[in-house]
Structure 1
Amino acid sequence: MNYADAGVSLSRADEAMVGVKKSVRSTFNQCVLGDVGNFGGLFTLKHLGLKDPVLVSSVDGVGTKLKVDIEMNTPTLPGQDIVNHCCNDILVQGARPLFFLDYVAMGALDPQVMTGIVEGMSKACRENDMVLIGGETAEMPGMYTVGDYDISGTIVGVVERENIIDGSRIHPGTKILGLPSTGLHTNGYSLARKALFDVAGYKVDSRVEGLDKTIGEALTVPHRSYYKSLIDLTNAKKLDGLVHVTGSGFQGNIPRILPDNVDVVIDRTSWKVPKIFQLIQEAGSVEKDEMYSTFNMGIGMLLFVDDANMADVEAHLKAKNEPFYHVGEVVEGSKKVLFRD
């Protein structure tokens, strides 16, 4: 026997790496030392001009959204999902991204799918001024069925120590702005798929009145990055807190940055919830509070802004053509999330 007899093809891996290397190199900048294929990626901080740099790192996956992407045959989209998601996760602490590493696992390596995934990652890396510096591709017959794949990513960014956002300046009276999401982003898909596909009987190509996409298209819109809209505000210390609304929704994410002596009141009438969330709620008979503890409900990032900085923040967002909503405020309390309807 040989490795191919066991289901692992080195020739398929070599074929996939041709397109992968081209995409990866398209993200390189002057900080990268070495080339694709080294055992480790080398990145110098020499050109950043920082006084007291602090590295910020995060790791995540795309979750069961991949099941929809696989059925839709859209491998470039989850590549964008994972990069943008991770970029947002370090942005909330004021960090700009430096480099990204990916992990892709498949039952049987499909060079076309692999190339698409990395093309998506590379696109998002370029859009976020970030390098795709390395990764790992695993062909795992017996672990994944043919056609299935899983991805995860690790991001490393940097922030000046004095610019770190930790929520400590949040106080009663702080106002909260919400920036719109592009849909579900990358969380809540186990509930969404069960409600829409198993209970309601929709297919990925189903069309529903009030939705300008098919169900599958609406579910696979890539997770957006807020980096370009917000990094200048973080550097200027105009934001007292940022919350990336991901898994666990509003109730799970907001308390992560709150001081012990405050609550947050979110006005759920201050923005229009997109149709895709309404469909999920109706199809699964999901309680309203459960929706807000699972999904972003159309708001992907929350900005905590002091009154003294509000005019500057609003002007900046308008200049960036970034829509925003006044969604809530901070009051005295004990780290709870309250809703106003």
Structure 2
Amino acid sequence: MDYRAAGVDVEAGRAFVERIRNLVHSTHRPEVIGGLGGFSGCFQLPSGFQEPVLVSGTDGVGTKLKLAQTIGCHHTVGIDLVAMCVNDVLTTGAEPLFFLDYLATGKLKPEQLTNVVSGITAGCKMAGCALLGGETAEMPGFYQPGEYDLAGFCVGIVEKSRMLNTSQVKIGDIAIALASDGVHSNGFSLVRKIVDDSQYNWSDRLEFSRDKTIGEFLLTPTRIYVKPILAALAQGVEIHGMAHITGGGLPENLPRALGENQSIRINNSWEIPPIFNWLAEVGAVDNTAMFNTFNMGIGFVVLIPPEQVEQAIAHFESQEIAAYAIAEVINGTGEIEGLFN
């Protein structure tokens, strides 16, 4: 017997690395040292920092991967993987520098996994970070044929004096909500149950997504907010805090951006995208459960002084991101008031 007889094809793994080499190199920044294939990735810190702080983050895509594998669409989940990590790192004001991925599968299928990596490289380009390296693990017997799992790791950098934390948030600051591109990458265990228990199939089309099937529409990748946010900071928008709206929705994530003895009061509603209304109706999901599971059309929130609201909204709209002033920071103990009114 040999390793191939046990289900691991070493030669296929080497061929896969060669297949993705150009994709990886296309993301490289000037600070990358060396190429793909070593035991580690090397990155020289950018110049111009007085007290550089490295900021790290890690995440996965979750059970959205099951949908991708069910309908055979693998590019967008690679973008999701990057987005979930870089958007988290961004909340400190950090610029993502480099990204690493971990990809595990039962049997290496080069075309399938090349599509995944092409999505990862696309996400890295959107975020301006380098895909520095990664690991591909072939694990027969651990995953079923056609199954794979993903994890991502990101490192960013920020000047210590400009690093955001909850102490900068002030009473009276306004929450600017930045639109999501749909469900993003959270709540898919519920999404899958809603569709599986209904009369709908992933291949059906809905009135608001006629150009895509339900499955394709739900695989719309997580929006990457890095470049618009960093551009806003560079143009003088005074951002005091940020929140990436992921698992747990607004109720769980928005309070994480607040300082001590602060709460936030929702003052204005926003137009909830029809996909969320459809999920609520088909699954008979109540409003509280929807807001505690999904982003409900808001993928990211920035907290800014009230006098900068118009400037900030104009900036994000110029970046083709719908933005709304939805809330105000008030005295309190971490609650969100008015969300379910």
- TM-score, length of structure 2 as denominator length: 0.95
Contact 1:196 1:279 in 2 (8 A): no
Q: How does 1:238-257 map to 2 (within 5 A)?
A: 238-257=238-257
Which structure 2 residues correspond to residues 176-255 of structure 1 after superposition, within 5 A?
176-197=175-196, 199-212=197-210, 213-235=212-234, 236=236, 238-255=238-255
In 2: Cα distance, 1:338 partner to 1:87 partner: 29
Q: 1:237 Cα shift?
A: 5.9
Q: Is the 1:102–1:153 contact (alpha carbons within 8 Å) kept by the matching residues of 2? A: yes
**What are the within-5 Å matches in structure 2 for residues 20-169 of structure 1?**
20-45=20-45, 47-169=46-168
Preserved CA contact (<8 Å) 2:183 2:218: yes
Identity of aligned residues (%): 38
Preserved CA contact (<8 Å) 2:107 2:140:
yes
Letter aligned with residue 203 of structure 1: N
8 Å CA contact retained: 1:163, 1:234: no
Deviating more after overlay: 228-237 vs 16-25: 228-237
In the TM superposition, residue 155 of structure 1 has moved relative to its aligned partner by: 0.2
8 Å CA contact retained: 1:175, 1:307: yes
1:84, distance to aligned residue in structure 2 (A): 1.5
Alpha-carbon offset, residue 29 of structure 1? 2.2
Q: Is the 8 A contact 1:186 1:223 kept in 2?
A: yes
Indicate yes or no: 2:258 matched with 1:258.
yes
Pairwise CA distance, 1:276:
1.2
CA distance in 2, matches of 1:128, 1:71: 28
Give the Å deviation of 1:49. 1.6
Q: CA deviation at 1:210?
A: 3.2
SS at match of 2:229: helix
Matched length: 338
Distance 2:35 2:171 in 1: 51
The CA deviation string for residues 214-267 of structure 1, in whole angstroms up to 9 with x for no partner, is 210121001110111111333546111111000111111112121221211225
Mapped contact 2:237–2:312 kept (Cα < 8 A): no
CA contact (8 A) 1:211 1:276 kept: no
SS in 2 for 1:168: helix
Secondary structure class of the residue paired with 1:293 = helix
Which range moved further: 3-12 or 53-62? 3-12
SS at match of 2:150: strand
Name the CA distance, whole Å, in 2 between partners of 1:224 and 1:123: 12
Measured against aligned partners, the alpha-carbon deviations of 1:179-233 in whole angstroms (never above 9, x if no partner) come to 1100111100001110122x21321111123333321012100111011111133
CA contact (8 A) 1:106 1:139 kept: yes
Q: Give unpaired runs (5+ residues) of structure 2.
A: none
1:338 Cα deviation from its structure 2 partner: 2.1
Match of 2:316 in 1: 317
Q: Which 10-residue stretch deviates more, 203-212 or 84-93? A: 203-212
Q: What is the Cα deviation at residue 172 of structure 1?
A: 2.5
Residue type of the partner of 1:78? V
Letter in 2 for 1:2: D
